């Protein structure tokens, strides 16, 4: 009578790391191990189970059909292990480990980076990776533990919670506006160069807002980086639609048609449902929620609160 296959939880951790990244080197870095050790653990697990979990090719490791089925089992075991650790440890000790957060460039650089000292003080045992190249990150493949996104996920095994509304207006530099033709209505905007995103590289519907202002605006300078757009606008290249929460920091920028044009968008925090109650992930979700709530004035301009029902363009994301 043959003994059933034996493997350890450590073997499953190595398997999940490779399944999620598709690369031995990336998995080794996450596990603080070596390329050779990861390869050896995967080979041992396949030998023990007597099944092929990955197809090896020059681009990396791709799950077989059996490997894909095995991921579900391994992730359930991972979740139960995290819960057990949380039950055995006190609150601060449970919140240990690494969390990878994907966020839009503007939110990451002009908000989250400013509250990182508070995060580090509250969670000294948590390590954080902040990724701003959001369009290449995938929650479904667990390339990121958490994402801040502009559009609520539709369907799929995801938890999502709205963090905040935020507002955008048209801005131009004082020097540019002093020399440019006057702007008294939307049609006047067609006489001015615009700075905006590269249309083909817009990775979220919430960023496609030029047509909300005027359907015939054609940008003269385009960049996938909101920071590059901000810099170009500050240097007088033209007009740009920018979020209030960071454009308002620069006194050289002036709002254009402020009583008529005000766009509203939203930030959401989302993760795979399996990760929602993992202590290290939950800690980041809770921190972001409280940090945004404590900084409401950054995202919602005072003139919006005061004006109440003043005339504005506010298409929902």
Domain of residue 82, CATH code = 1.10.10.10
Domain of residue 114, CATH code = 3.40.190.290
Residues 104 and 166 in one domain: yes
pLDDT score of 1: 46
Residues 68 and 163 in one domain: no
CA distances to 29, 181, 187, 191, 261 from 184, in Å: 56, 10, 8, 12, 12
d(CA 92, CA 126) in angstroms, rounded, equals 10
Residues 132 and 23 in one domain: no
pTM of the entire structure? Answer: 0.67
The confidence band for 311, taking pLDDT boundaries of 50, 70 and 90, is very low
Residues 101 and 72 in one domain: no
Number of domains observed in the structure of the chain: 2
Q: Within a domain: residue 1? A: no
Q: Within a domain: residue 56? A: yes
pLDDT in tens, 229-274: 999 999 999 999 999 999 999 999 999 999 899 999 999 999 988 8
Which of 48, 64, 89 lies at the terminal end of a domain, its last residue?
89
d(CA 121, CA 130) in angstroms, rounded, equals 17
pLDDT in tens, 32-74: 889 899 999 899 889 888 899 999 988 889 999 998 888 888 8
Domain that residue 232 falls in: 94-311
Of 11-20, 240-249, 302-311, where does mean pLDDT reach its minimum?
Answer: 302-311
Mean pLDDT of 114-137: 84
The confidence band for 2, taking pLDDT boundaries of 50, 70 and 90, is low
Mean pLDDT of 146-169: 89
Residues 81 and 99 in one domain: no
Which of 89, 104, 131 lies at the terminal end of a domain, its last residue?
89
- Those residues whose C-beta lies under 8 Å from the C-beta of residue 293, and which sit 6 or more positions away, are none
Residue 50 has φ and ψ, to the nearest 5°, of: 60, 40
Q: Are 249 and 232 in contact (CB under 8 A)?
A: no
Which of 56, 74, 89 lies at the terminal end of a domain, its last residue?
89
Residues 219 and 106 in one domain: yes
């Amino acid at each position: 009578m043959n003994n059933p296959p034996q493997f350890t939880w450590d073997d499953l951790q190595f398997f999940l790391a490779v399944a999620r990244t598709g690369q031995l080197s990336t998995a080794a870095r996450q596990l603080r191990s070596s390329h050779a050790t990861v390869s050896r653990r995967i080979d041992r697990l396949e030998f023990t189970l007597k099944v092929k979990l990955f197809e090896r090719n020059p681009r990396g490791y791709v799950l077989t059909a059996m490997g894909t089925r095995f991921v579900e089992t391994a992730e359930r075991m991972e979740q139960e292990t995290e819960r057990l650790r949380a039950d055995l440890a006190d609150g601060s000790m449970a919140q240990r480990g690494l969390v990878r957060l994907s966020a839009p460039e503007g939110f990451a650089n002009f908000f989250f980076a400013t509250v990182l000292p508070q995060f580090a003080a509250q969670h000294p045992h948590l390590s954080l990776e902040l990724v701003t190249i959001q369009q290449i990150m995938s929650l479904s493949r667990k390339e990121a533990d958490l994402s801040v996104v502009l559009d609520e996920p539709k369907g799929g095994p995801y938890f999502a919670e709205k963090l905040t509304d935020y507002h955008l207006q048209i801005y131009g530099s004082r020097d540019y506006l002093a020399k440019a033709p006057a702007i008294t209505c939307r049609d006047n905007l067609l006489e001015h160069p615009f700075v905006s995103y590269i249309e083909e590289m817009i990775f979220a519907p919430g960023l496609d807002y030029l047509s909300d202002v005027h359907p015939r605006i054609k940008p003269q300078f385009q960049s996938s980086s909101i920071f590059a757009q901000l810099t170009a606008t500050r240097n007088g290249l033209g007009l740009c639609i920018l979020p209030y929460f960071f454009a308002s920091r620069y006194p050289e920028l002036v709002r254009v048609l402020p009583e008529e044009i005000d766009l509203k968008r939203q930030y959401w925090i989302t993760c795979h449902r399996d990760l929602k109650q993992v202590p290290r992930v939950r800690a980041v979700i809770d921190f972001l929620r409280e940090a945004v709530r404590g900084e409401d004035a950054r995202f919602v301009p005072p003139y919006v609160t005061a004006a109440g029902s003043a005339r504005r363009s506010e298409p929902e994301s």
